[in-house]
Amino acid sequence: MTTVAPPVEDLLRELAPQVLGALVRRYGDFDSAEDAVQEALLAAAVQWPEEGLPANPRGWLVTVASRRLTDQWRSDSARRRREATAAALVPPDEALAPSPGDQRPAGQDDTLTLLFLCCHPALSPASQLALTLRAVGGLTTAQIARAFLVPEATMAQRISRAKQRIKATGIPFSMPPEQERRDRLAVVLQVLYLIFNEGYTASSGPALQRAELTGEAIRLARAVHRLLPDDGEVAGLLALMLLTDARRRARTRPDGALVPLAEQDRDRWDRASIEEGVALITDTLVRAPLGPYQLQAAIAAVHAEAPRAEDTDWPQILALYQVLERVAPNPMVTLNHAVALAMVRGPGAGLELLATLEGDDRLAGHHRLDAVRAHLLEMAGDHAAARASYRLAARRTTSLPERRYLQARAARLADGAGRDPGAGAGVTRGGPAP
């Protein structure tokens, strides 16, 4: 998409899944509808900054995308040409009208329905995640590939196959029935989790954070929570997002440089988000079966409730990570577990746990493993080895703020300066970084 003013760009990101949902509901062709929506978004990015916003931005996008779609179909057959002519003449307000048999009110946000469509059981779990991140979250294929730790070409093929699968199986665009909806929920939550993570610490580019992605993930998590208010993991995920996003303003300096958790000005944390998140996780922990999102939210709450970094209850955090690793083991959880273990039992114990990840192919060449190793080596006083690991991590990351931070840590060690033992804990992310 061409460069546009931030307010327009934010609006287009918010409207994109709504417009795609409207087209899929009306025409049923996911793949063609997504192409048409992308063309409409490009047209809006060019025209709106020059001509001003239309009175009904969503209607404008639906109308333009519908015409792009029907123009494409016009060349296919005489039947398609007749349908295209009828659809192309629909005024903007009518373009939002429900299709025959669809009882939804005109203009309704279809984002949540689109979310569940992308998580249909006809798709493999990996395809569900990838397609939802692309269609609902607006992430690029490269960003999704980094989230899954796979090559970009592999991810592009996965997304393409998912769209073709939807077309081939004729999956209807409608909310699934109650039981099926719950079966898809785990994938829906994981997708929202990954969208939030990409926004909280962007995998590449000049900015550490992408607030439009974290905001969209929180918005969608709230929508799912309204739909399933008694589900503990839904509440846990929303609480985790709120507690983590509460630190956003304190995570960067005016020049965009990364500020690790131990060095953040906690007066800049969003107390309203913290209070809401703590209330959510406190309520759900006493009434719902324990799950990984609730455990991560509980960890985030312990950090949030410490008035100073040195007041952090690391033994409690360590205990929570030990439970989390039993409930939902994965290498990123182990990275954070190693930091917590080092804070309680010393860097040697943390490095010993970290060594168990050396042969894990999912982390081969990943900068976060090197960054955590550097942090623990620095805690252990091995500054030469720590400096080498910081430099290796800096070379491997594609995030410019992280690269600068890691390079600065290496340079500081080269100058013989030390730092607080917990200062590097925010470099990791296994879920969102503390």
pLDDT tens for each residue of 14-60: 888 889 988 888 887 788 888 888 889 889 988 998 888 899 999 99
Q: What is the predicted pLDDT for the residue at 362? A: 84
What number is the average pLDDT over the span 360-372? 89
Closest Cα to residue 98, out of 174, 30, 169, 201?
174
DSSP three-state, residue 138: coil
Of 167, 256, 174, give the one whose Cα is nearest residue 209.
Answer: 256
Closest CA to 57 of 19, 22, 94, 21: 19
Report pLDDT digits (tens) over 261-297. Answer: 999 999 999 999 999 999 999 999 998 889 999 999 9
Structure tokens at 331: 């290498």
pTM > 0.85: no
What's residue 5's pLDDT? 54
pLDDT (0 to 100) of residue 418: 53
Sign of CA dihedral 243, 248, 249, 253: positive
> Residue 337 corresponds to which tokens in the numbers above?
């577990």
Domain ranges of the chain: 1-94, 110-252+262-312, 321-434
What secondary structure does DSSP assign to 201-242, as a single string? Answer: S-SEES-S--HHHHHHHHHHHHHHHHHSTT-HHHHHHHHHHH
Count of all residues that appear for the chain in the document: 434
Percent over 90 (pLDDT), the chain: 45
Model confidence at 382: pLDDT above 60:
yes
